[in-house]
C-alpha cells in the first residue's frame, strides 16, 4: 500500500486525522504516490518508516513495546490505550477491529478473486502449490498469497494491507482457525470465489468443546460461501462430502483417493500411488484423474499420502480457473515444499527428515505409515523418532498422546527420543511403558525410549546413534511452540565440536 492509498482509506474510515498524518509523513504530492507503507505488530521487526500497531493480548500487550518500535524507526503507532509514548500515535478504540476494517476496505477497493483454504492439516502446502500452479498459467504479478502461516484474524489482515496491490487479480489465502468465530470473521472480511475444506482432524481441538464443535467451525468456510461460487471438498470423508450436497447452488469439486465414478468430471482423484526404489534415488509415482483426463507424474523424492492429497486439492482448485487441457501440462518441478515439512537431508550415511513445522496426531500417523512402508520394502533397515508434544489439544491431551504411543508401538521404531520442553509428550512415554509392562516378557517390544527437556541431552543420543547407524532415518516432529529446531541445531553443533564435518549434509530437495 502506498501513502496516498493509506490516506484515502483513513478518510473513508471517517477518521479526521488526514491533515495531521500528511504533515507527519510530509511527502510531496509527487513522491506520495511512491511511498510504500508497511504495518507491523512486533517491535523486534519494526524498521524505519513503519506503522506499528499495538495489539493487546493475553500474554503480551503490544502497548508495552510502542517505544521500542519508535526506537527501531517506526514513524507512527496505532494504539487503543493512551500512555506517555515517545512518538506520534493514532488513537482508535480497538486496534484489532481497526486493522480488520481497514484490510476489508482495502480488499473491497481492489476486489481480487479470493481463494480461501482451511483444514486441520496441509493448508500451507496446498496454498503454496495452488500459487505455484497458477503462476505457470497466469502472470505471476497477478497472483497474491499470504506468506508463511500468516493466517489468523490479525496476521491475514496485515498481509492484505502490506502485500495486496492493484496488479493482483487473484488472492490465494490460507485461513486458520484457532477459536470459534475465526473463519466467519475472515470470510466476512475477504469474500471468496472458491472455498476449500481439506480435512478436519484434532489440530486445535483444545479450543473447542468437542470434535463436533470443531467440525462445525471448520465448515463455516463452506457455509458462508456465496451462491454461484466454487467449493472444493475432501471426497473421502462422508461428513465433508455431505457439505457439497447441502450446497446445490455452488460448483462442487471433490478431491481424494479412488473417488466414485458418480463424481464424474468434477473431481481430482488419486488412482495409483507407488514408491519406486529401482534407481539411485527414490521416486514417487502417481496416477491422477483430473476431471476428465488421466495423468501420470513422477517426483524424485518420497511423498507421503498427505502431500499427495494436498496436490489433488491444489489441482482441484486450479481446475476451477484453468482449462483442464492446459492444467494437466503443469510442471511438477516448479512445486516447492515449505520449510520443515518432511524436508529430507542426508547426513553421515543416514537420512534426516525434518517435519517439525507443526504437528497433529493425524499428520504424525501419515508420516509413520510412510516410514513403516519404507522399512517394509527394505529401503531402510530401521528408523528413529524424535518427537515433541502435540499442543492445543486441551482436555484431550492425554488421550491424543496415548494414541500417539499406540501408533509408535505398532510402527516399531528402533529408538524414540521425546523432547519434553512441553511436558504433554511424557504421557506418550508413560503410555508406552504401560503397554510394554502389560505384555509377556518374551513379547515386549525392544524400543529404546529417552526423554529430556534439554535439547543438548536429546542431541547427544541422536549424535551417538548417527555414528553407529547406516541408512537409518531420523524423523523429527513436534508442534511449533516446542521449538524442535533447537534439538536439530544442537545435533549439528555436537557434530562440529566432535570434529565431524558437515560437508556431506545435503538438502535432498528444496523443490519437488
* Cα-Cα-Cα-Cα dihedral sign, residues 56, 58, 60, 64: positive
The mean predicted confidence, pLDDT, of the chain is: 87
Q: What pLDDT score was predicted for residue 358?
A: 86
Structural domains in the chain plus CATH codes: 3-93 (3.40.1390.10), 99-334 (3.40.1190.10), 343-507 (3.90.190.20)
Q: How many residues does the chain have?
A: 512
Burial class (CB in 10 A: 0-12, 13-18, 19+), 356: buried
Give the pLDDT band (50/70/90) at residue 463. Answer: very high
% of the chain exceeding 90 in pLDDT:
61
Query: CB neighbours (10 Å) of residue 398?
Result: 14
- Decide if 174 contacts 160 (C-beta within 8 A): no
Q: What pLDDT score was predicted for residue 262?
A: 67
Q: What pLDDT score was predicted for residue 299?
A: 87
Q: Does pLDDT of 13 surpass 80?
A: no
At residue 316, what are phi and psi to the nearest 5 degrees? -65, -40
SS3 labels along 80-94: CCCCCCCCCEEECCC
Distance CA 415, CA 446 (A): 9
- Decide if 43 contacts 68 (C-beta within 8 A): yes
Q: Does pLDDT of 435 surpass 70?
A: yes
Pick from 29-38, 411-420, 488-497: least confident = 29-38
Q: What pLDDT score was predicted for residue 502?
A: 41
Q: What pLDDT score was predicted for residue 226?
A: 93
> Per-residue pLDDT tens for 174-185?
999 888 899 999
- Mean per-residue pLDDT, 419-440: 83
DSSP state for residue 402 in the 8-state scheme: H
> Per-residue pLDDT tens for 78-120?
999 999 999 999 899 999 999 999 999 999 999 999 999 999 8
Query: CB neighbours (10 Å) of residue 270?
Result: 20
- Mean per-residue pLDDT, 136-156: 93
Short-list 214, 246, 148, 305, CA closest to 233: 246
- Mean per-residue pLDDT, 389-407: 90
Q: What pLDDT score was predicted for residue 280?
A: 65
Distance CA 192, CA 106 (A): 15
Q: Does pLDDT of 410 surpass 50?
A: yes
> Per-residue pLDDT tens for 295-327?
999 988 778 899 999 999 999 999 999 999 999
Contacts of 443 (CB under 8 A, 6+ apart): none
Distance CA 110, CA 168 (A): 8
Q: What pLDDT score was predicted for residue 30?
A: 43
Q: What pLDDT score was predicted for residue 344?
A: 85
Distance CA 351, CA 445 (A): 24
Which cell numbers in the block locate residue 280?
A: 539411485
Give the pLDDT band (50/70/90) at residue 510. Answer: very low
Q: What pLDDT score was predicted for residue 264?
A: 64
Distance CA 132, CA 137 (A): 9
Q: β-pairing, 448-452 with 415-419?
A: parallel
> Per-residue pLDDT tens for 237-262?
999 999 998 888 999 999 999 998 76
Distance CA 497, CA 457 (A): 15
DSSP letters of 208-241? SSSHHHHHHHHTHHHHTPPTT-EEEEETT-HHHH
- Decide if 338 contacts 377 (C-beta within 8 A): no
> Per-residue pLDDT tens for 469-497?
999 999 999 998 999 999 999 999 988 77
- Decide if 52 contacts 46 (C-beta within 8 A): yes
Q: What pLDDT score was predicted for residue 23?
A: 54
Contacts of 192 (CB under 8 A, 6+ apart): 114, 115, 116, 173, 221, 225, 226, 229
Q: Tell me the β-bridge partners of 145.
A: 172
How remote is the C-alpha of 494 from its chain's centroid? 30
Q: What pLDDT score was predicted for residue 443?
A: 43
- Decide if 266 contacts 316 (C-beta within 8 A): no
- Mean per-residue pLDDT, 254-277: 86
- Mean per-residue pLDDT, 30-56: 83
Distance CA 134, CA 317 (A): 10
Short-list 347, 343, 420, 348, CA closest to 387: 420
Q: Does pLDDT of 505 surpass 70?
A: no
Q: What pLDDT score was predicted for residue 506?
A: 35
- Mean per-residue pLDDT, 327-352: 88
Distance CA 265, CA 254 (A): 10
Q: What pLDDT score was predicted for residue 2?
A: 65
Q: Tell me the β-bridge partners of 469.
A: none
More confident residue, 478 or 24: 478
Burial class (CB in 10 A: 0-12, 13-18, 19+), 79: buried
Q: What pLDDT score was predicted for residue 202?
A: 78
Q: What pLDDT score was predicted for residue 447?
A: 73
Distance CA 190, CA 213 (A): 23
Give the pLDDT band (50/70/90) at residue 354. Answer: very high
DSSP state for residue 258 in the 8-state scheme: S
Q: What pLDDT score was predicted for residue 501?
A: 44
> Per-residue pLDDT tens for 187-211?
999 999 999 999 998 777 777 778 8
More confident residue, 293 or 280: 293
- Mean per-residue pLDDT, 340-344: 84
With H, G, I as helix, E, B as strand and everything else as coil, classify residue 333: helix
> Per-residue pLDDT tens for 48-89?
989 999 999 888 999 999 999 999 999 999 999 999 999 999
Amino acid at each position: 500500500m502506498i501513502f496516498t492509498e493509506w490516506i484515502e482509506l483513513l478518510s473513508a474510515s471517517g477518521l479526521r486525522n488526514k491533515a495531521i498524518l500528511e504533515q507527519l509523513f510530509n511527502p510531496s504530492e509527487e513522491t506520495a504516490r511512491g511511498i510504500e507503507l508497511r504495518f507491523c505488530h512486533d517491535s523486534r521487526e519494526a524498521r524505519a518508516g513503519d506503522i506499528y500497531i499495538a495489539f493487546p493480548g493475553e500474554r503480551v500487550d503490544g502497548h508495552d513495546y510502542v517505544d521500542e518500535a519508535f526506537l527501531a524507526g517506526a514513524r507512527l503507532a496505532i494504539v487503543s490505550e493512551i500512555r506517555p509514548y515517545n512518538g506520534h500515535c493514532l488513537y482508535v478504540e480497538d486496534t484489532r477491529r481497526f486493522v480488520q476494517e481497514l484490510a476489508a476496505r482495502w480488499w473491497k477497493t481492489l476486489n481480487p478473486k479470493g481463494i480461501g483454504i482451511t483444514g486441520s492439516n496441509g493448508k500451507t502446502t496446498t496454498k503454496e502449490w495452488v500459487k505455484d500452479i497458477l503462476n505457470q498459467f497466469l502472470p505471476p504479478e497477478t497472483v497474491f498469497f499470504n506468506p508463511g502461516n500468516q493466517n489468523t484474524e490479525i496476521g491475514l489482515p496485515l498481509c492484505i494491507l502490506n502485500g495486496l496491490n492493484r496488479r493482483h487479480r487473484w488472492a490465494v489465502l490460507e485461513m486458520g482457525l484457532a477459536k470459534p468465530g475465526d473463519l466467519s470473521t475472515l470470510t466476512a472480511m475477504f469474500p471468496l470465489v472458491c472455498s476449500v475444506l481439506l480435512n478436519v482432524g484434532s489440530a486445535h481441538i483444545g479450543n473447542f468443546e468437542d470434535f463436533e464443535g470443531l467440525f462445525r467451525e471448520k465448515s463455516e468456510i463452506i457455509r458462508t460461501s456465496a451462491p454461484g461460487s466454487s467449493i472444493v471438498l475432501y471426497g473421502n470423508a462422508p461428513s465433508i462430502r455431505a457439505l457439497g450436497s447441502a450446497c446445490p447452488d455452488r460448483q462442487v469439486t471433490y478431491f481424494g483417493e479412488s473417488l466414485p465414478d458418480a463424481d464424474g468430471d468434477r473431481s481430482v482423484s488419486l488412482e495409483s500411488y507407488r514408491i519406486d526404489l529401482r534407481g539411485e534415488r527414490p521416486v514417487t509415482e502417481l496416477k491422477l484423474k483430473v476431471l476428465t483426463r488421466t495423468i501420470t507424474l513422477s517426483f524424485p523424492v518420497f511423498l507421503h499420502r498427505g502431500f499427495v492429497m494436498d496436490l489433488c486439492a491444489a489441482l482441484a482448485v486450479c481446475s476451477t480457473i484453468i482449462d483442464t487441457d492446459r492444467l494437466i501440462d503443469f510442471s511438477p518441478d516448479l512445486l516447492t515444499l515449505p520449510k520443515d515439512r518432511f524436508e529430507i537431508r542426508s547426513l553421515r550415511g543416514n537420512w534426516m527428515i525434518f517435519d517439525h513445522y507443526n504437528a497433529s496426531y493425524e499428520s504424525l500417523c501419515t508420516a509413520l505409515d510412510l516410514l513403516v512402508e519404507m522399512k517394509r520394502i527394505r529401503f531402510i533397515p530401521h528408523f528413529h523418532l524424535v518427537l515433541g508434544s502435540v499442543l492445543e489439544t486441551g482436555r484431550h491431551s492425554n488421550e491424543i498422546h496415548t494414541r500417539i504411543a499406540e501408533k509408535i508401538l505398532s510402527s516399531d521404531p528402533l529408538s524414540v527420543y521425546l523432547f519434553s520442553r512441553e511436558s504433554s509428550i511424557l504421557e506418550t512415554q508413560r503410555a508406552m511403558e504401560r503397554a510394554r509392562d502389560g505384555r509377556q516378557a518374551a513379547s515386549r517390544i525392544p524400543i529404546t525410549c529417552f526423554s529430556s527437556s534439554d535439547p543438548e541431552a536429546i542431541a547427544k543420543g541422536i549424535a551417538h546413534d548417527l555414528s553407529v547407524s547406516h541408512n537409518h532415518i531420523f524423523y523429527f516432529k513436534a508442534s511449533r511452540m516446542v521449538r524442535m529446531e533447537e534439538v536439530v541445531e544442537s545435533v549439528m553443533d555436537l557434530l562440529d565440536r566432535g570434529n565431524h564435518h558437515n560437508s556431506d549434509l545435503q538438502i535432498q530437495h528444496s523443490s519437488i
